[in-house]
Structure 1
Amino acid sequence: MPSVNPDPLDKDSEPFVETDPTGRYGRYSELLGSGAVKKVYRAFDQEEGIEVAWNQVKLKNFTYDPAMVDRLYSEVRLLRSLTNQNIITLYSVWRDEEHNTLNFITEVCTSGNLREYRKKHKQVSMKALKKWSRQILKGLNYLHLHDPCIIHRDLNCSNVFVNGNTGQVKIGDLGLAATVGKNHSAHSILGTPEFMAPELYDENYTELVDIYSFGMCVLEMVTVEIPYSECDSVAKIYKKVCSGVRPQALNKVKDPEVKAFIERCLAQPRARPSAAELLKDPFFDEIDDDENNDTDCS
């Protein structure tokens, strides 16, 4: 293993702030993103010679909930077993007892998240948006058919990542993912309010909450507007969602086919289709023949 301490006289070299216990991965100081409990840093895999993302969760946020820490750790470990080209790959995970952090190394996408990418590129064809949507669905289908079933629970455009040079998109940020048993139901409220299905608030839901969130993602992709941006508080969003009031952004969708597809995703749980069913929707017919970079659904 090469030395992780660069020559101090080498001005072109970038020093690592810290390395993982094996010495394989080195973290730089550059922050790629941050959330309520997690920070993501640029890092380097010395063995493969590639840049990666170093995700760090401060466990002090869960000091009084050791069960949550254990669950978080076990669920992140489970993600190591996932192999799908539309899911961000997890390479390594470990707990740092000294600094009270949970760390995990994931692949990094060259163009950042879909929300920022879409804002940056305003002129995008409906065909391209459908290609992105289809890849997200393929990732969801993989998670939902996994044994045990995995519910993402926090799907939104900031948790979908893009390789802009290939047009490939991948679902990431599975930190809130829940594994569920045979009945496919979960019971805790987590997520991003604008993208949360009404039944999530009732604390009794299935993987179909991800389909609702996916519908909101499609809406954001089409309108370049976060759903319910007309609301100035979480309470107002909650009230509208639970009352079945659609976000104003939906009125901006002029294409009836696109609007109908989004509405199908936002339907009541009983009428909401699965990811597998949506992949067969005529909405995707025009892109079936010319797709070559995301044909694998395994």
Structure 2
Amino acid sequence: MPAAAYSGAGDADTLAKAGGDKHMASSHLAQRNQNHSYRMPSEIPDPSEDDKEPFVEVDPLGRFGRYSDLLGSGAVKKVYRAFDQREGIDVAWNQVRLRNFSSDPSVIIRLHSEIELLKTLKHDNIIVLYHVWKDADKNTLNFITEACASNLREYRKKHRHVSIKAIKKWSRQILKGLDYLHTHEPCIIHRDLNCSNIFINGNVGKVKIGDLGLATIVGKSHAAHSLLGTPEYMAPELYEENYTELVDIYSFGMCLLEMDTLEIPYSECDNLVKIYKKVTSGVMPQAMKKVSDPELKVFIERCIGQPRMRPSAAQLLQDSFISDGIDLDENDL
């Protein structure tokens, strides 16, 4: 093999020219390689099984592997880092503990069928859902979604000074995602929209709605009756367990409040009972006092108003506040 095939190949000749003794130079080079435990590329062994990053569990088809790294967690599910071995990409492994629903097996069956439908959703502002299955042994419902680097809450905390123009662009994309869900046949209600499950690709400003595992599919009446969600973002009618897709508009308004103020709504409350009392009695979060832009404040108030007065996502997309002062292309980026 020619000397140039490995690192430092010309060192022997260089030393020979300097010292006039090529044999001495070669000995010096051999000693240096020995000191550095040098190996030719063909001699480098493959990593042993002990060196490889182990999967904690693998899906039944053997395509997705879950690591132990926790990306996030909520009241109902946990999200882990995972890998799609077929496509060679990072993904997110969402896991729901079903013990909370053990008393009613029909709920589990319905939840599973609903997520199966969510797999068919295709929209630029909706996180892709790849696969879902139930693990009977561990009593978990698992679903694999597209992985995103940062959620909007984390991203906003890192970038504390953003313009109202940026907030408008993010909001428009969220509303387009909600409009897609709400006008889908059948209608899909997210039910747990908050800044921790809205994701952003910071390089291009692309925003996507995620955490669709708790979404519900409703019929022509657009009415749902299950009590699920994050209390600080839940519309008052959701607590009454009789609501429509407009609960997502309320949650969007609370997300917009957090985007502007960097404060989670009703953070002044130290327990869920206090949040419930304020929400159901129509008391605004104290964070509303921190909204400095008067037009933004009016827009948020429209979103979190009474259900009969609350606009749809399509109507909000036509609001002058969302479109004024920003340049839009077809992707709203």
Q: Aligned partners of 1:99, 1:192: CA distance in 2, in Å?
A: 25
Distance (Å, rounded) in 1 between the aligned partners of 2:62 and 2:234: 40
| Contact 1:131-1:287 at 8 Å conserved across structures | no
**2 CA distance for matches of 1:149 and 1:99?**
31
2:207 pairs with 1:148: no
Decide which of 263, 286, 291 is 1:253's aligned counterpart: 291
Range moving further from structure 2, 93-102 or 277-286: 93-102
Residues 1-298 of structure 1: matches in 2 within 5 Å? 9=48, 13-111=52-150, 113-286=151-324, 289-291=327-329, 293-294=331-332
Distance 1:73 1:291 in 2: 37
Instruction: Look up the equivalent residue of 2:83 and give its one-letter code.
Output: F
2:57 partner letter: E
**3-state SS, counterpart of residue 102 of structure 1:** strand
Change (3 A) 1:60 1:240: closer
Distance in 1 between residues matched to 2:223 and 2:144, nearest whole Å: 29
Letter in 2 for 1:274: S
Greater RCO, 1 or 2 (C-alpha within 8 Å, sep 6+):
1
Tell whether the 8 Å contact from 2:131 to 2:145 is kept in structure 1 after alignment: yes
Q: Is the 8 A contact 1:193 1:234 kept in 2?
A: yes
**Residue identity in the other structure for 2:331:** N
Aligned residues of 2:165 and 2:326 also touching (Cα < 8 A): no
Deviation of residue 294 (structure 1)?
A: 3.9
With the length of structure 2 as denominator, give the TM-score of the two structures: 0.82
Whole-angstrom CA distance in 2 between matches of 1:19 and 1:279:
42
Q: Which ranges of structure 1 fall in alignment gaps of 5 or more residues?
A: 1-6
Shift of 1:156: 0.9
Give the secondary structure class of the aligned counterpart of 1:237.
Answer: helix
What is the aligned-residue identity percentage?
A: 72
Per the alignment, do residues 61 and 8 of structure 1 end up closer, same or farther by CA in structure 2, a change over 3 Å counting? Answer: farther
Cα displacement (A) at 1:71 = 1.4
Classify the secondary structure of the residue corresponding to 2:217: strand
Root mean square deviation of aligned Cα:
1.7
CA deviations over 1:152-173 (Å, ceiling 9, x no partner): 1111111111111221111111
Question: Aligned partners of 2:49, 2:175: CA distance in 1, in Å?
Answer: 46
Kept in 1: contact 2:171–2:322 (CA 8 A): no
Provide the residue aligned with 1:4 in structure 2: none
2: CA distance, partners of 1:47 / 1:204: 43
Q: Aligned in 2, Cα 1:108/1:126: closer, same or farther, shift over 3 Å?
A: same
Deviation at 1:11, TM superposition (A): 6.7
- Structure 2: give runs of 5+ residues left out of the alignment: 1-45
Query: In the alignment, residue 74 of structure 2 is paired with which amino acid?
Result: G
Secondary structure of residue in 2 paired with 1:82: coil
Write the letter of the residue equivalent to 1:224: L
